[in-house]
Amino acid sequence: MSKQMSHLDNIPSTPGKFKMDKSPYIHNRLRWHSSLVKLTFWSFIFLGLILIFFFRSPSSNPLPQDPSRRSLRTYNWGGPSWEKRVRSSARVRSRNGISVLVTGAAGFVGTHVSAALKRRGDGVLGLDNFNDYYDPSLKRARQALLERTGVFIVEGDINDSTLLRKLFEVVAFTHVMHLAAQAGVRYAMENPGSYVHSNIAGFVSLLEVCKSANPQPSIVWASSSSVYGLNTKVPFSERDRTDQPASLYAATKKAGEEIAHTYNHIYGLSLTGLRFFTVYGPWGRPDMAYFFFTRDILKGKSIPIFEAANHGTVARDFTYIDDIVKGCLGALDTAEKSTGSGGKKKGPAQLRVYNLGNTSPVPVSDLVSILERLLKVNAKRNIMKLPRNGDVQFTHANISLAQRELGYKPTTDLQTGLKKFVRWYLSYYSGGKKAAG
Ligand SMILES: NC(=O)c1ccc[n+]([C@@H]2O[C@H](COP(=O)([O-])OP(=O)(O)OC[C@H]3O[C@@H](n4cnc5c(N)ncnc54)[C@H](O)[C@@H]3O)[C@@H](O)[C@H]2O)c1
Ligand SMILES: *[C@@H]1O[C@H](CO)[C@@H](O)[C@H](O)[C@H]1NC(C)=O
Ligand SMILES: *[C@@H]1O[C@H](CO)[C@@H](O)[C@H](O)[C@H]1NC(C)=O
């Protein structure tokens, strides 16, 4: 299964700058008529320009792939027309609407949440660095989708505090929906730095800017069910221990929850963490099992199905994207104001954590059976031992707290949700669009 991200390694490195050879002809004046010299000289210049153009064309100039280089990438932002787009996107269009900065807006959940907020008249500004953890063309397609609904996504990194401060200068956001992160459990062994960059340093940089903003926004952010780690007591409840993470990803999300506590305590920031349980649906993430199972079943490739020791079932509490979106909106709508100002706390502020799951874990083998029926193709199953590299055996959410306090009530079962996913998948990847991954 770790093979599925290996295409990331195949991206060629950035080509070096094209250097033109010094022409010996220019020095040989005596043997050449001067007009011929000029002609040759200009031919070389012309050839050189063509080659430079060729080497710098986008297809041979890939996005940087390691996080340190990624953070050195400069983005184009600023200027009057850019500010105008930022303001217009963030403008509230309904009475009692809120203005929300959505980080990770070109991501799976970010796109759906941004669209839902915009639909009900809230102001929405997106922020995303469009990194290449998975096919960036899918992020671009989501961006195009949001663009049509009037949501602008600023291209930049959450660890860039100069950019963040600028955004808060231009718009007095009432809320931040923080979804930007390095996701994925197994990829942490390949690129641990990217988790530290986005989930730790990036989160702190965002909180630093939020605490200094005037007024301070209320923040809702994505934690993860993975914080329950190796726990065996089910269902997972918010009060359970979360001190035995099974992956670096889980550890950075757990760290995020502790960092949130600190910023709430010191600066009076209102903070709500949402522990998502395996979110799936249209426009989903190609690195997740339901997505690449669909791709590989259609290709006739065998798919790895993990089982735990003693043929134990591996199961997930799959949660449909529309249900997650309702949970996110519920959290934003019930978030109290931050209490600090000018970086100083004035009084205690709200600090919350909620499970957003579906309360019905489904064995991964059942997921495959549903996909087989929907795709009308038999899967080639390759039963394998669950490797000890981050995945836990099962997840199961107790959602009674979110139900009570956010009005959260998931309504989509896996069969119904996957039907919608498959319909989207087939239409998105047909008609000349290149295959996923
Ligand atoms: N999808 C799930 O099943 C699931 C489960 C638990 C938690 N989560 C969390 O929910 C959030 C959204 O997840 P998703 O499934 O939409 O993932 P995603 O990868 O599709 O979206 C994350 C987006 O954030 C952007 N991003 C990453 N690092 C950034 C940075 N440093 N600066 C700016 N942008 C950056 C990425 O380009 C991407 O578009 C994440 O925090 C994730 O950890 C998701
Ligand atoms: C985040 O940004 C700060 C500067 O603002 C920089 O010092 C730090 O190295 C960056 N961290 C990561 C992990 O990229
Ligand atoms: C679910 O969580 C609530 C707290 O929100 C708790 O009171 C209840 O006992 C939990 N239920 C189970 C079955 O663990």
pLDDT in tens, the chain (437 residues): 333 333 322 222 333 233 333 333 434 444 445 665 566 656 665 565 545 454 444 333 334 444 444 555 678 899 999 999 999 999 999 999 999 999 999 999 999 999 999 999 999 999 999 999 999 999 999 999 999 999 999 999 999 999 999 999 999 999 999 999 999 999 999 999 999 999 999 999 999 999 999 999 999 999 999 999 999 999 999 999 999 999 999 999 999 999 999 999 999 999 999 999 999 999 999 999 999 999 999 999 999 999 988 888 899 999 999 999 999 999 999 999 999 987 889 999 999 999 999 999 999 999 999 999 999 999 999 999 988 777 888 899 999 999 999 999 999 999 999 999 999 999 999 954 555 44
CA of 1 to the centre of ligand 3 (A): 35
- Kindly state if the Cβ of 196 falls inside 6 Å of ligand 2: yes
Q: What is the DSSP letter of 302?
A: E
Residue among 232, 237, 405 whose CB has most ligand 3 atoms within 8 A, to mutate: 237
* 104 Cβ closer than 6 Å to some ligand 1 atom: yes
Q: Which of 223, 127, 123, 212 is nearest to 175 (CA)?
A: 123
* pTM for the full predicted model: 0.85
pLDDT of residue 35: 63
Coil/strand/helix, residue 175 = strand
Backbone angles phi, psi at 112, to 5 degrees: -65, -40
**Which domains can be identified in the chain, with CATH numbers?**
69-279+320-357+391-411 (3.40.50.720)
Can you tell me the distance from the alpha carbon of 136 to that of 107, in angstroms, rounded to the nearest whole number? Answer: 10
Decide: 200 in ligand 2 pocket, CB within 6 A: no
Ligand 3 atom nearest residue 239's Cα: 4
- Ligand 3 atom closest to the Cα of residue 398 is 1
Cα–Cα distance for residue pair 224/253, rounded to 1 Å? 6
Nearest bound ligand to the CA of residue 196: 2
Phi-psi domain of 79 (left: phi exceeds 0; alpha: psi -120 through 50; beta: other): left
Task: Please indicate whether residue 71, judged by its CB atom, sits closer than 6 Å to ligand 2.
Answer: yes
Indicate if 75 belongs to the active site: no
- Note the pLDDT of residue 433: 53
Which candidate in 133, 187, 249, 263 is catalytic?
249
**What pLDDT does 40 receive?**
61
> Can you give the pLDDT at residue 388?
79
Q: Residue 139: its pLDDT value, please?
A: 98
**pLDDT number for residue 47:** 62
Answer whether 292's CB lies under 8 Å from 298's CB. no
- Beta carbon of 197 within 6 Å of any ligand 2 atom: yes
Separation CA 387–CA 163 (nearest Å): 41
Question: Which residues does 33 contact at the CB level (< 8 Å), separation at least 6?
Answer: none
- Cβ–ligand 1 distance for 330 under 6 Å, the answer no
Q: Which atom of ligand 1 is nearest to the CA of 109?
A: 16
Q: How would you label 278-307 residue by residue, b for 16+ Cβ within 10 Å and e otherwise?
A: bbbbbbbbbbbbbbbbbbbbbeeeebbbbb
The residue whose CB lies within 8 Å of the most ligand 2 atoms, and thus the one to mutate among 71, 131, 199, is 71
Q: How far, in Å, from the CA of 12 to the mean position of ligand 1? A: 25
CA 362 to centroid of ligand 3, rounded, Å: 21
The span from the CA of 61 to the CA of 64, in Å, is 9
**Ligand 1 centroid to residue 107 C-alpha, Å:** 6
177: β partners: 102, 220
Q: Are the C-beta atoms of residues 171 and 44 closer than 8 Å to each other?
A: no
Residue 109: CB within 6 Å of ligand 1?
A: yes
Kindly state if the Cβ of 178 falls inside 6 Å of ligand 2. Answer: no
Q: What is the Cα–Cα distance from 219 to 209, expressed in whole angstroms?
A: 12
